[in-house]
Structure 1
Amino acid sequence: MDGTILKEEFLYSQIAERFETQIENNILKTGDKLLSLRALSKEQGISISTAFKAYIELENKGFIEARAKSGYFVRYNPSKIPKPLDKPETETSFENVGVDEILRMVHKTMSQEGVVKLSQAVPSAELIPVAKLSKAMMEAIRKSPTNCTGYEEIQGNLTLRKQVAKHAFGWNGNITENDVVTTQGCMEALVFCLKAVTEAGDTVAIDSPTYFGIFNAMKSLGLKVLEIPTDPETGANLEYLEKAIEKIPVKACLFVTNFANPLGVIMPDHRKKQLVELLAKKQIPLIEDDIYGEMYFGKTRPKTCKSFDKEGLVMLCSSVSKTLAPGYRVGWCIPGKFIDKVISLKLTHSVSSATPTQAAIGLFFETGRYDLHMRKMRKALHTSCLRYIQAISDYFPKETKVSRPQGGYVLWIEMNKKVNGFELFQQALKQNISISPGQIFSTDARFTNYIRISFGTPYNEEIRISIQKLGKLVEGMS
C-alpha cells in the first residue's frame, strides 16, 4: 500500500469520525441533510472520492442514509439507543461449578446447520483472509527442512515466539522470545497456568459474569470459584476483591481485563496497575486472559496487567482464535516466573504444539499480513457492533439495556426481569436462532434475565430479521 492510499484512508476516516462525534452529541440531528459530495469536497479541500468514502463509512455504521435524488441524511438517533447496563449487585458466590445441562444444549446448537448463530463469539468466514492464510501455510511448509512433519521444540516455534514478543510492544510489554510458550489455543494456555499455580480444592477468583469455558476448566481441575462482581464500565470490583482475599485463601486470580466476555468492558490502566499491586502484596498469581486485546475499536491497543508486572506474577494468555483462525488452535502464554513449570506441564500433556499451524501463523505475523488484517477486522467489527445495537433499539422493548463494548465480539443484554434467558434460548431455537442465555455465565445461573449475542457476523438482512424475531419473543415474555 503506497503513501497516497494511506493518506486518503486517513483523511476519509478522520472526516467520518468528526461527523460521528457531531451526530452522537446531537449537533447533527436525525433527518438533517448533509453537504453534497461536491460541497463537502470543496469545503474540506479533498477529492470527491475521499468525500464519498467518508459517507460510505458513515452509512455502513448506520449513522447516515442515502436517499435517491436527495442526498445524504442523518439516520442515527442517540436517544433511541438502549440504556447502558446498571451497576452490578455485590452479592457473589463461592461454590463448585454447575450449570452443565444448559451449557451442553447451547454447545450443541453451535454445530447445527441452518441456525443463525448469534451465540458464537468467533469471526465469520467472510472476515478471515483464507487465501492469504493458505499461502502462508504453503510457504511455511516449503521453507521447513522437514516440510513441517517433525516435532516443534517444546517451547514452541521460534518465529512465532519472536513475533509474539515483537507485538507485545503494542501493550508496553518488554519481553523476548524466551519468555513465551506456545500452546494449542488460549484455553490450553489458561489450563497450564492454572495447573502451575494451584492444586485441586484451591480457590481461584474470577470476574462475574465471565466466559463459560473458564468454569469448565475450573471444574476439570477440581478448583473452587470465587466470583468477583464486574462493573460494566471499569471491570472487576477491586475493592470487593481486596476484602475477599483477606477472608478467603485465594490461590490465584483469572481475569479478562480487555473487552471481557460477555460485558465487553475494558479495565482502565490505573485499575490494572492497582490490581497488579494488590495481588503482589499477597504474592497471588494473576492469570490474564488477553484473547480480545487486539480487537479494540479505539485508536490504540489497550495495555495489559502484564504491562505493570514487576515480579513475574502475571501470566498473560492469548491466541489467534478470535482474531484470525479459530481452527488452527494457535495460542501462547507469557508465564513470568512460572515459565519452567508451564514448560514442564506442556511436555507432560502435549509434548509439543502442532508444527504446520504454528509455522504458518508465525510467517503470517512476520510478513505484516496480520497487522493489515487486524486493521480491516477492527473496522468491520466496530461497524457491526453499532448496527446490532441500533437493531436492538429498533426491535426490543424500550426497557432493554445493553452493554457498550469498546472492542471484542459480544453484546450483553439485560431484559425485563420476567424474561428468562434460557426459555428465550429455547423459543429462539425453534425459529433457528441461537443465543447464549445469561445463566451460563455464572456458576449458579444467576443472570436469568440476560442474554449474550455475538456481532462476529457482519450485519445483513438475515441478522436484522433474526434480531427482530428475538425482540418479538422478548416482548411476548415481558
Structure 2
Amino acid sequence: MNSDPDTPLYLTLAERLAGLAASGSLRPGARLPSVRALSEQQGVSVSTAVQAYRTLEDRGVIEARPKSGFFVRRARNLPPVPATTRPPARAVAVETNAIADAVLDAAGDPAYTSLGAATASEDLYAVERVRRALARSAQRHASSLGVYATAPGIAPLRQAISRRALELGCNLDHRNVVVTNGCMEAITLCLRAVTQPGDVIAIESPTYFGFLRAMQVLGLRAVEIPMQPGIGLSLEALEVALDTQPIKAVVAVPTLSNPLGTIMPVASKKRLAELLEQRGIPLIEDVICNDLAPTEEDRRAVRSFDRSGNVMICGSFGKTLAPGLRGIGWVDAGRWSGQVANLKRALSGGGSAVIEWAVAELLEQGGYDQSLRQLRRSFADQIHIARQIIAAAFPPGSRATDPAGGFILWIELPKSVDAVALYQRCIEQRIVIVPGTLFTTSTRYRNCLRLNVGGRWTAEREEALHAVGRMATQLAAG
C-alpha cells in the first residue's frame, strides 16, 4: 500500500476506508473485512489494521458489533454543517452575558436536563479508579492534609504531565510546568503575564465564553477571527488582523475548538506557530480536549512546532479523567514560565497535594489510554445519535457541526429563530441549552446554540433534544 512517508500508515489506511464510505463505495451497514483479512488485503501488519479501525470507530465512521465484526455506520439523513463564520473585524471591549451563570448553575441541578454546560456524564469515565486513587492518596499522604500545598505543584504530577505531553508531540521540561486550579486559571495566568488592561487579544469566533469572562475581568479588548468548517481558525484573517490591530496575544483551541469542535490540520498548526513567532506575539493554546481527538496527528499541539518558547500551553483533566478533576489544570508558559509561576504563587498559592498525588498516580497507571479510547467511541456514538435527531426534529434549514471528537455540537437555526427566546422556552421545560450570543462580543450568532451531548444517552435526554427541536420549529413558524 502506497503511503505518504510523513503520514502514519494506519492513518493512510483509515482515510482510504473513510473515503470509500463517504463516496458510497462502502454502503451504510456494510460489513468490513476482519482485522486479519484487512491486513492481508492491504499488505499491512495486524496492529496497523487495528489502529485504522480504532481511528474510524473514534470518528464515528464505523461501529463494532459484538461477535459480528466491524460495520459502516448507517448515516440516514444528517444536517449540513455551518458555513465559515463572519465576525466583526475591529477590537471591542468584552462584556459577558448573565445567561452563562444560569447555564452553569443548572448544570448541577438534577431538576434540569442539561444540554448546556460542556461536562460529560461521570458514568462514562472510570470513576471507580479515580475514587480508589483518591483514597490511596489520602492514606499515603495524610501528612499533606495538615500543610499548605505550594506552587508549582508536586514534582511527580509535573513529571507525569510532561510525559503525557509527548502524546501531543511536545517535549516539556517538567520544571517549567505549573499545576493550576483548572485550565481557565492557567489561561488567565498567561493573559496576566503578557497583557495590560486595554490590550487587544485575538480570539476565535465563536469562542468559549469562559475566555470572554476572563478577558472582561482583566479589562482586555477582543478582536474575533473567523473560523472555517473543518479547518478552524482562518490564518488569512488572522494575518490581516495582525497587520491592522495592535494584537498582544492570541487565545485559541486548535484541537476540538469550543463550540465548533474543529481540528486545525497539522500544516496549519505549524504555520500558526511560525506566523506568531515571526511577529513576536504569544499564543495561549488550550489543549484540554486534545486527548479526545481521534488520531495521533489530530492530537498534535501547536506547541510541538514552537522553537522559541512563544506558545503557552494549557490543559486540564476534567474532560478525560473525570469531570470532578477539572480543578487540576496545568500550564507550561514557555519563555514566560517564571512570570506565570510567580503569579500563581501570589494569587492562589497552590492546590491540594492529596489530589495532585492521586492524579499523578492515575496518569502513570496503565488503563488511561484504554479509557480514552472508550470515551472517544462513546462520544462519537452520541454525536451521531444527536445529529440524527437534529435532522429529524429541528426546523428545515438547520445546520449542525460534525466534529471528529469531543461531545459538543454547534447548531445554526433559521435566521427567524432567536436562540435566546428558545433558551427561555427550554428553561420553562427544565431543559438547558446555551444560546450562541454567549460565544461572541457582538450580537452575532443569535440564531445559533451550543448543545452538550456528553451526558449518558437516556430516553429522557433523547426526548429533551426532540423537545428543543419542536420549540425551535414553533419559533421558526412565527
Q: TM-score category by the smaller chain? A: 0.7 to 0.9
Aligned amino acid, residue 304 of structure 2: S
The 1-side partners of 2:208 and 2:34 are apart by 46
Indicate the SS of the match to 1:343. Answer: helix
Match of 2:466 in 1: 468
Where structure 2 has 5 or more consecutive residues not aligned to the other structure, the ranges are 1-12, 40-52
What TM-score does the superposition give when structure 2 sets the normalisation length? Answer: 0.85
Question: In the alignment, does 2:305 pair up with 1:280?
Answer: no
Q: Residues 139 and 201 of structure 1: is their aligned pair in 2 closer, same or farther, counting only changes over 3 Å? A: same
Indicate the SS of the match to 1:146. Answer: helix
What TM-score does the superposition give when structure 1 sets the normalisation length? Answer: 0.85
The 1-side partners of 2:73 and 2:319 are apart by 31
Q: 1:85 deviation in Å? A: 1.2
Q: Residues 312 and 426 of structure 1: is their aligned pair in 2 closer, same or farther, counting only changes over 3 Å? A: same
Q: Residues 296 and 200 of structure 1: is their aligned pair in 2 closer, same or farther, counting only changes over 3 Å? A: same
Q: 1:122 deviation in Å? A: 1.0
The 5-angstrom pairing of residues 45-60 of structure 1 reads: none
Match of 1:344 in 2: 342
Aligned counterpart for 1:416 among listed residues 414, 419, 429: 414
Moved more, 149-158 or 350-359: 149-158
Q: Deviations over 1:126-162 (max 9, x none)?
A: 1122211111112223333725443334211111111
Aligned counterpart for 1:359 among listed residues 350, 357, 370: 357
Aligned counterpart for 2:391 among listed residues 384, 390, 393: 393
CA contact under 8 A between 1:206 and 1:226: conserved in structure 2? yes
Q: Residues 350 and 416 of structure 1: is their aligned pair in 2 closer, same or farther, counting only changes over 3 Å? A: same
The 2-side partners of 1:62 and 1:164 are apart by 31
Moved more, 397-406 or 17-26: 17-26
Match of 2:141 in 1: 144
Q: Residues 377 and 172 of structure 1: is their aligned pair in 2 closer, same or farther, counting only changes over 3 Å? A: same
Question: In the alignment, does 2:286 pair up with 1:289?
Answer: yes
Q: Residues 132 and 149 of structure 1: is their aligned pair in 2 closer, same or farther, counting only changes over 3 Å? A: farther
The 5-angstrom pairing of residues 12-91 of structure 1 reads: 24-27=22-25, 29=27, 76-78=74-76, 80-89=77-86, 91=88
The 5-angstrom pairing of residues 291-440 of structure 1 reads: 291-298=288-295, 302-328=299-325, 329-440=327-438
Q: 1:469 deviation in Å? A: 1.1
The 2-side partners of 1:41 and 1:352 are apart by 49
Indicate the SS of the match to 1:258. Answer: coil
Q: 1:40 deviation in Å? A: 8.3
Q: Residues 368 and 74 of structure 1: is their aligned pair in 2 closer, same or farther, counting only changes over 3 Å? A: closer
The 2-side partners of 1:250 and 1:142 are apart by 49
Aligned amino acid, residue 120 of structure 1: A
Match of 1:3 in 2: none
Q: 1:377 deviation in Å? A: 1.1
The 2-side partners of 1:65 and 1:331 are apart by 34
Q: 1:167 deviation in Å? A: 1.1
Q: Residues 202 and 369 of structure 1: is their aligned pair in 2 closer, same or farther, counting only changes over 3 Å? A: same
Where structure 1 has 5 or more consecutive residues not aligned to the other structure, the ranges are 1-14, 46-53, 67-71
The 2-side partners of 1:138 and 1:257 are apart by 36
The 2-side partners of 1:41 and 1:163 are apart by 33
Moved more, 103-112 or 150-159: 103-112
Q: Deviations over 1:226-272 (max 9, x none)?
A: 11111122111111111212222111111111100000001111111
Q: Deviations over 1:11-52 (max 9, x none)?
A: xxxx9999977654334556x7869xxx9899999xxxxxxx
Structure 1 residue ranges (4+ consecutive) displaced by more than 4 angstroms after TM superposition = 15-24, 32-35, 39-45, 61-66, 72-75
Match of 2:130 in 1: 133
The 5-angstrom pairing of residues 212-251 of structure 1 reads: 212-251=209-248
Aligned amino acid, residue 110 of structure 1: A
Indicate the SS of the match to 2:103. Answer: helix
Match of 2:104 in 1: 107
Match of 1:119 in 2: 116
Question: In the alignment, does 2:477 pair up with 1:455?
Answer: no
Q: Residues 44 and 421 of structure 1: is their aligned pair in 2 closer, same or farther, counting only changes over 3 Å? A: same
Moved more, 85-94 or 345-354: 85-94
Match of 2:43 in 1: none
Indicate the SS of the match to 1:315. Answer: strand
Match of 1:51 in 2: none
Q: Residues 407 and 41 of structure 1: is their aligned pair in 2 closer, same or farther, counting only changes over 3 Å? A: closer
Match of 2:182 in 1: 185
Q: 1:449 deviation in Å? A: 0.7
The 2-side partners of 1:106 and 1:306 are apart by 32
Q: 1:389 deviation in Å? A: 1.1
CA contact under 8 A between 1:294 and 1:301: conserved in structure 2? no
The 1-side partners of 2:90 and 2:341 are apart by 33
CA-based RMSD of the aligned residues comes to 3.1
Q: 1:201 deviation in Å? A: 1.2
Q: 1:355 deviation in Å? A: 1.0
Q: 1:218 deviation in Å? A: 0.3
Q: Residues 150 and 240 of structure 1: is their aligned pair in 2 closer, same or farther, counting only changes over 3 Å? A: same
Q: 1:112 deviation in Å? A: 2.8
Aligned amino acid, residue 210 of structure 1: T
Aligned amino acid, residue 132 of structure 1: R
The 2-side partners of 1:203 and 1:405 are apart by 30
Question: In the alignment, does 2:182 pair up with 1:172?
Answer: no
Aligned amino acid, residue 230 of structure 1: M
The 1-side partners of 2:376 and 2:31 are apart by 27
Which has the larger Rg?
1
Q: Residues 180 and 249 of structure 1: is their aligned pair in 2 closer, same or farther, counting only changes over 3 Å? A: same
The 2-side partners of 1:199 and 1:468 are apart by 46
Aligned amino acid, residue 236 of structure 2: E
Question: In the alignment, does 2:256 pair up with 1:259?
Answer: yes
The 1-side partners of 2:123 and 2:79 are apart by 28
CA contact under 8 A between 1:255 and 1:289: conserved in structure 2? yes
Indicate the SS of the match to 1:225. Answer: strand
Indicate the SS of the match to 1:189. Answer: helix
